[in-house]
Structure 1
């Protein structure tokens, strides 16, 4: 399984079971809505799947979040105008489970209040145009649905990028350390 960086961070390591990243400051993924700006410079470590492939991706994340909007989790990406990111986002000195869905160049954002767990588990399942996003708080937490989102299906000859992402968009962002453990992608038979 070959992985590639989109916007490789200055500091990171991968020991095959744990990926550790120290994010670069002033990095983010966002398109237009409300804030009026576009950023496509967050860190994304991914592998490519056929564009019409169904799959389930899972990961456990731990972060030392400390600056507004520090974030990390999973990402699905067709191109700069069509992607989804989900995971933890740090807002008002608190962790939130967060999802940003960007389709046709416009982002939306939804959050769920969580109890700032040491570990947030994520599970993302794609079947056709539906993306089912779930999260669990803590090592033994039970998965809960966070979002069911539309995401375009592309031709099997095109690639869908799937992987881990992190960023530090805050104005004073110096970056933070985040670890991704047990990252796994299982390709499902259904299309």
Structure 2
């Protein structure tokens, strides 16, 4: 496991502000920032704040952040980008008053999956995206009681070309308000997961 310095990445779109506090990166999102293409809503939003660096095949990226959301569609996690129409964002999003763990996979148009995570607010969430073969596997966990909340949860398995040039790293968006501040506590690269299922 190798920590990635915050200075290594390049922003897709500059946040309102960026500050370092010890080992953490504090990012203030711009109001209206988001990433989405067409499906159901009919619009294309390409204004997310994603701090990206190259992600090689057969490797994984992990992003950790403190979950503290309050407004509709506040979101943070990990972003993987191939091009304007091929990207994945995965993490936690505040939707209809509830924090949900999920992913948006975009291949020309976006889809969205989300499942509620009770009791995660105020804690450190880690999202892991692992490239292996023709897929990326997204998992997440929250700091907590070992053997319970600390276990990795499978979030998504999505197609990703083995030879794709991918950049990945932390992201956040604030589609509906100003003042969202996200504390990112870690950005790491590791070897890809050995298998999709434990024990395989």
Q: TM-score range by the shorter chain?
A: 0.7 to 0.9
Q: Does 1:96 align with 2:100?
A: yes
Match status 1:144 vs 2:153: yes
Counterpart for residue 22 of structure 1: 28
Q: What residue number does 1:74 align with? A: 78
Give CA deviations for 1:63-111 in whole Å, capped at 9, x if unaligned: 33111001000011001100000001001221100200001x1100001
Please give the residue correspondences for 1:30-179 in structure 2 after superposition, counting only pairs within 5 Å.
Answer: 30-50=36-56, 53-103=57-107, 105-117=108-120, 118-140=123-145, 141-154=150-163, 159-170=165-176, 173-179=177-183
User: TM-score, structure 1 length as denominator?
Assistant: 0.87
Give distance in 2, aligned partners of 1:72 and 1:116: 17
| Partner SS, residue 153 of structure 1 | coil
1:184 matches 2:188: yes
**How far apart are residue 16 of structure 1 and its match?**
7.2
CA contact (8 A) 2:25 2:183 kept: yes
* Residues 63 and 176, structure 1, Cα contact 8 Å, conserved in 2: no
- Indicate if the aligned counterparts of 1:31 and 1:106 stay in contact, CA closer than 8 A: yes
Deviation of the 1:132 alpha carbon: 0.8
Query: What is the CA–CA distance in structure 1 between the aligned matches of 2:144 and 2:187, rounded to whole Å?
Result: 14
Give 5+ residue unaligned stretches, structure 1: none
Give yes or no for contact 1:121–1:139 (8 Å, CA) kept in 2.
Answer: no
Tell me, yes or no, if the aligned pair for 2:67 and 2:125 is still in contact at 8 Å.
no
C-alpha contact (below 8 Å) 2:65/2:186 kept by paired residues: no
Question: Which consecutive unaligned segments of at least 5 residues does structure 2 have?
Answer: 195-200
Structure 1 distance, partners of 2:97, 2:14, is 27
Q: CA separation in 2, counterparts of 1:24 and 1:66?
A: 15
Counterpart Cα distance in 1 of 2:167 and 2:21: 21
Q: How many residues align?
A: 182
Question: Are the equivalent residues in 1 in contact too, given 2:55–2:61 (CA < 8 A)?
Answer: no
Tell me how large the CA RMSD over aligned residues is: 2.0
